[in-house]
Structure 1
């Protein structure tokens, strides 16, 4: 499971031998510096760069390219090294951009050689900078951690090196740029999308001369690997992932290599009034991507403004306590009888501070509420609520969306302001619908039987949405219901015919499904790693798989438990995902052996619950599960269209 870092976030490293991938869309220079305990680079011999590509434990590229693969062995660096830093810089040459704000945000990934990514970071927020500290690895309590830095330098590589304490940084920067200059003329830029218009433009460019190694070739659409996107040819489409004879591609979609177009123009606001909200008011290649970015922008705005309000209230409370303590501890005020007035004045100042903070909060929340009212009706099916009119005109899509709505999030300062909880597709971790009691004792929670039924209803709603947002034939749902207790909840899936097999029941059914999926993970892993997708058995279903597991751990023996843990750990990378419906307390007999399973899954609930903690601003977000409107059959018509599309696809 990859940790997608943001600026300043750190993450532990389970491995010390690392491959660092850099994808920038345009040629960049990559370098690595080694720092001592004080964070200083003692000399040029502590810098790996194209003119000196190898140091103990470090190897970098010799050229400026759009894609780099750097090798770092943290156990092999000298013991005096306490920090290993990855630097990126724009080369100096004809046609080369002079600032990162004019190119795609660089993407950096870290992982073990021949293993999955451990962490990744998209270096956003750059403008006039021409060099940036992308990531750093540092010692902490006997181990190593990685941190996303994103510190840019308008002064270029020289300023970046000087900031790390390197003497004669300008001379070394000149050496680096001189070393990569000969290779720039041989650098191949990112190819453009192969549309007819671009082909015509390319032909015209070929008759007028080479625009230069760093010229803009346009955005590249489609993805085939985590190291960078490749173009998709609409005139000669490839078989979809999962079809026999085609590539098996379970990598993260929509990872772009160039800057998206600007957001749509926002109507000017009247003087003294807030701006008018507009759906899609964010950057992105498509309206879907713009809406996704806008929703997450709303989430961040709500988190920030609420954090500022709570901080202001805490400050006012602390100041009130200090002033009251001073008034009570001053003997002169007690003798003169002025203590009461001091207390009233302190309370008045407290009320003024909290009142101003609340006014600012209400202003921001009103603006976010207005934006939510505009954005919600514009959301596509993958992002929309079940009561949205978009489901009335639903059609099976031809490509997978970039994200999926799992419910809503809100904070107590404005419970009515709900922000969609979106997770990227494909799912990078499984889901766990907690059927146990988790809400506070004061909350009204259904009894155990009703709660388990609600949990399974929630799981079916999630499975329906996953089926609905994938193209026909690219997503398959399997169900394990050992005791047949979920028959009522599973009725929409069974009746529509979207299940290729009936829900597995009994010990034999559980064993057969888990064995089949475990074998599938093994085979696809070997095929992907060996680049031999065409060697897969012809009867193997290579579509993405969702395994819905009800009432775990009842009906599961030790072998089945081990297989489930294996699927949770290894399945997402090759298109097998878990959706568990379980009460953790029921599995307590297994002891801590199942703790890694629970931690590997994203916990959601069938009733509102404030279990989602925000590590950045320390909020406890209340999660609201997706609600299917009562008295309306929304899932049935959607599943019927999915089933019909699957039958058409198989003909």
Structure 2
């Protein structure tokens, strides 16, 4: 599971040997500062930076780059170091952005070597800052934890280091800046930076005793120069160019250069034209970049229209307040001039909006065919070539989003995996939604069909046997919708019916959550019962709260709150009015779930730019003929894995 931290949140460090990945979109400098028990950095020799990239257990890049891979071995960090802060700083000089507010939010993730990241943090809320403390590792009760800090400094690296308690911080910041500038023109004979693989190879037999860094002692790196990787070509070296610090096993897929647009025309969009360590991550970032671009350009247009209308009203009031303005000739001319200025402003705003929307539409047409199954529409050709994946994706498509200014421009709604919130398919449709229902399809049936489509996608994008589905259908009304799951054999047990079936399923899942939580918190994963299935589980609840008593409702709320942390997720089909008898006691429960609808609905409010987005669920014609073959392949792979 991946834990996405927010500012101030801490998390246990999953491993003592870590790969830390930094992605910023533009070149940044990365440093790691060790501090003592008082939180102070005693001297410059306690900081790993491009001019001195190695400390015991820590190694950073020698250059500013948009993507970094840091190697950290916490067992080799000196005992006198109680904290280790990961610092990001913008290089200085002509052409440098100067502030993080002009860049995409930096993204930091950490995990075991040669494995996906298990903890991540997006450093948001930066503006004029030129340096930031992204993460902080600290000792707590004999173990290491990590905290998302996100503290920025407009004074750059010097101010950041000074706040860490380092004397003469300006001198060290100047040395780092000089090393970065010198590295841009490093000759071909210079040694490349050591990599995470070198650090792991050097410490494979244990870190051994490490001397504490001190004012008079130069820290021993504890690493050997990088050895050649027979599976990867050696890094290219060119005179006068930056050194490539990309880990040889983390090289992104080679991209073809984008087509060159004719002079005076916008660039031709290309799929995957975003930062990321993999094609999937680049496509994910590109989709959300399109979402942000659509939100910003529409907000600018609406702001211009509102301003034009406000100005027109003020000018009309000014004309009416002047007695001469009430005369037909002068008054009509003033009002006509005000209307002309209004139309000119709104016309220019609409022209800019249409230009941006045309570019986003072209980008959407380029991106949509390149999306993998987890991100693709059900009617995408990628499902015809479906194969059971070897690893879970980073996100899942739940539908599409659009704004009224361009209904045809639809942005995929991607949700990060593993699911941190349960999903609620609302079967209680309002009057405005009833007109878009398919003929002769009751709202509850359509909602359950939508839930099964989401469940099928979750099953399809996970490796065989790593996602188990259970169903509660207390009233037995969802048999037709559940037919694809039943026919493929993806359900180990028939849907639970009646109050007794509801109670049995909930009791089993609550026991699983309790046992796994105790094992994780106590560090005793090997003590779990051998019959306990630790695969991720999805509980589909049809027509809540039918068949639920007070105790069952309490257990369901517990699963919604505690289950996602240990791999138990909830997908519920319900009409909130049916549960109105519980009163406000269920309000926190509804708010904890992500509400989606089986028909288009304007219910997703965006606090960033105050838009109300229209949510478009996957349509039945899209997935009617796809679910069966996809689930059949997933079920066959699951059976083969269990044999």
TM-score calculated relative to the size of structure 2: 0.72
Question: Residue 580 of structure 1: SS of its match in structure 2?
Answer: strand
Alpha carbons of 1:321 and 1:191: their partners in 2 closer, same or farther (altered >3 Å)?
Answer: farther
Q: 2: distance between equivalents of 1:105 and 1:339?
A: 56
Q: Quote the residue 2:66 is aligned against.
A: none
Q: Could you tell me which of 349, 374, 390 is aligned with 1:357?
A: 349
Q: CA deviation at 1:628?
A: 3.3
Is 1:28 matched with 2:20? no
Alpha carbons of 1:550 and 1:533: their partners in 2 closer, same or farther (altered >3 Å)?
Answer: same
Q: Quote the residue 2:581 is aligned against.
A: 589
**Native 8 Å contact 2:398 2:414 kept in 1:** yes
Q: Quote the residue 1:513 is aligned against.
A: 505
Q: Unpaired runs of 5+ in structure 2?
A: 23-29, 44-54, 60-69, 75-84, 92-97, 111-117, 137-146, 178-211, 236-242
Q: 2: distance between equivalents of 1:495 and 1:348?
A: 65
Alignment of 1:203-602 (within 5 A): 216=245, 218=247, 264-335=256-327, 337-438=329-430, 440=432, 444-445=436-437, 450-602=442-594
**Native 8 Å contact 2:471 2:494 kept in 1:** yes
Q: 1: distance between equivalents of 2:356 and 2:292?
A: 12
Q: Quote the residue 2:108 is aligned against.
A: 107
Q: 1: distance between equivalents of 2:535 and 2:317?
A: 68
Q: 2: distance between equivalents of 1:192 and 1:368?
A: 43
Q: 2: distance between equivalents of 1:409 and 1:634?
A: 22
Deviations 1:96-138 (A, max 9, x none): xxx999xx956389xxxxxxx9x973238999998325499xx
Question: How many residues end up aligned between the 2 structures?
Answer: 532
Question: Residue 482 of structure 2: SS of its match in structure 1?
Answer: helix
Question: Residue 623 of structure 1: SS of its match in structure 2?
Answer: strand
Alpha carbons of 1:508 and 1:384: their partners in 2 closer, same or farther (altered >3 Å)?
Answer: same
Q: Quote the residue 1:635 is aligned against.
A: 627
Is 1:121 matched with 2:121? yes
Alpha carbons of 1:447 and 1:530: their partners in 2 closer, same or farther (altered >3 Å)?
Answer: farther
Deviations 1:40-68 (A, max 9, x none): xxxxxxx942229xxxxxxxx99977669
Is 1:88 matched with 2:117? no
Deviations 1:394-449 (A, max 9, x none): 11111111111100000000001111111111111111111112464795457997
Q: 1: distance between equivalents of 2:400 and 2:214?
A: 50
Question: Residue 621 of structure 2: SS of its match in structure 1?
Answer: coil
**Native 8 Å contact 1:24 1:106 kept in 2:** no
Q: 2: distance between equivalents of 1:50 and 1:623?
A: 50
Q: 2: distance between equivalents of 1:593 and 1:355?
A: 51
Deviations 1:265-287 (A, max 9, x none): 22111011111111111222222
Alpha carbons of 1:148 and 1:192: their partners in 2 closer, same or farther (altered >3 Å)?
Answer: same
**Native 8 Å contact 1:381 1:391 kept in 2:** yes
**Native 8 Å contact 1:523 1:536 kept in 2:** yes
Alpha carbons of 1:383 and 1:174: their partners in 2 closer, same or farther (altered >3 Å)?
Answer: closer
Q: Quote the residue 2:26 is aligned against.
A: none
Q: CA deviation at 1:591?
A: 1.5
Alignment of 1:99-178 (within 5 A): 105=106, 107=108, 121-123=121-123, 131-134=131-134, 151=152, 156-160=156-160, 170=170
**Native 8 Å contact 1:91 1:180 kept in 2:** no
Q: Quote the residue 2:139 is aligned against.
A: none
Q: CA deviation at 1:634?
A: 1.3
TM-score calculated relative to the size of structure 1: 0.71
Q: CA deviation at 1:631?
A: 9.4
Q: CA deviation at 1:642?
A: 1.1
